Structure 1
Amino acid sequence: MDNLEEILEGNGFEKELVAEIKNIGRSKRVSSGGVVVSADLGSEEIPLVLSGLLKLLRKDDQGNELFLYHLQSGETCAMSITCCLEGKTQDITVVAEEDSQLWMIPMHTVDRWIQRYKSFRKFVFRSYQERFDELLGALDGIAFLKMDERLMKYLLDLKQASGSFVIKKTHQEIAKELNTSRVVVSRLLKQLERDDKIEQHRNRIEIL
């Protein structure tokens, strides 16, 4: 709860809103790899990250998952809010990248809070802007960067989001999130290692 207090105060939420968030929300701990939001679960809650790291994925028509962006401490899922306001079914999946502590907020409160509390409106709009900027970065990476540059950008973005130089992922997991093959990822990681940009260990990569 201490981290919740810090996050709510850091966003300048009104006292009445802070009280509502505390009373209506609930704590949830998710282990690494656990699904937080998905169409199959039919979730009616929005996660506010207290600690840990979440990743947001989107499936294409063939069922392939494409990594979009990460959610860190103090952030929430703007796409979940959009689906809530428009009454749409989630077409995204939010998964815990590492063990995470969340504060789950019922979706039915969001519209009222946006209308009633100026601080919450600013929080939602800021979340939209940050996610939009990250999506533009992901789009630029797909459109303009070669695969080796995309891979290095992915590793650096993950380092920035997690705060760790050690990336605990297999080649297959990285390939899935970049929508490419494991063979391609393994070959490019070997090249990055030869260039002294990374060191590879069993199921983990260290950025130099």
Structure 2
Amino acid sequence: MVKLLLEITKLNLMVKLTGPKKTKTAVFISGTGSNLLSLIKFSKKKRCPISIDLIISNYVKAKGLKYSVKFNIEKKIFSFKKKNLNNKKIFSYLQKKKIKLICLAGFMEILPSDFIKKFKGTIINIHPSLLPKYKGLNTHERAIKNEDKFSGCTVHYVSKKLDSGKIILQSKVRISSKDNATSLAKKILKKEHKLYPASISKIMD
């Protein structure tokens, strides 16, 4: 009995020292990777529920790929044009790395429905509007053109229908009379960097 109690105490101490086991995560990007960087910084926190184990891009010149070198994270480049062939390759890497969560972060491709169906983990996305408003592209221009008073960003589950999965969290910003698409994008991006980690904490709680 005493031996068992000592083993339990030792196990509890190890958990406290190492932190909880983290969910292996892949981040899909196409551009600068500012949300990727935010997620990597988040993943380094002791109590963060995820680790970033793989970065995937559809664009070989994506600036965000530099973070794979800086933080020693494996990267892979895939074209989604030859869907059947590349889907198999992508799944092979996801399985190899034991990925359970995919975060789309400025990923400018629509995932094929069979990819979404076959992946056994969770796929989430961050979108620069207050969904269900302004699905798709040019969200900031559309919000300003329609003279909206507010815009923002949304983290949601990825479903077969574009930008239509269940909403996890949203963050709102006020659109001023001086805003243009560029200035509004910058304001919303600051919110995105906080909202994505908060959303992951929420669904992993």
**TM-score class, shorter:** under 0.3
Task: Give the structure-2-normalised TM-score.
Answer: 0.26
Q: Which has the higher helix share?
A: 1
Larger relative contact order (CA 8 Å, sep ≥ 6)? 1
Q: Which has the higher strand share?
A: 1
Task: Give the structure-1-normalised TM-score.
Answer: 0.25
Larger Rg computed on CA atoms: 2
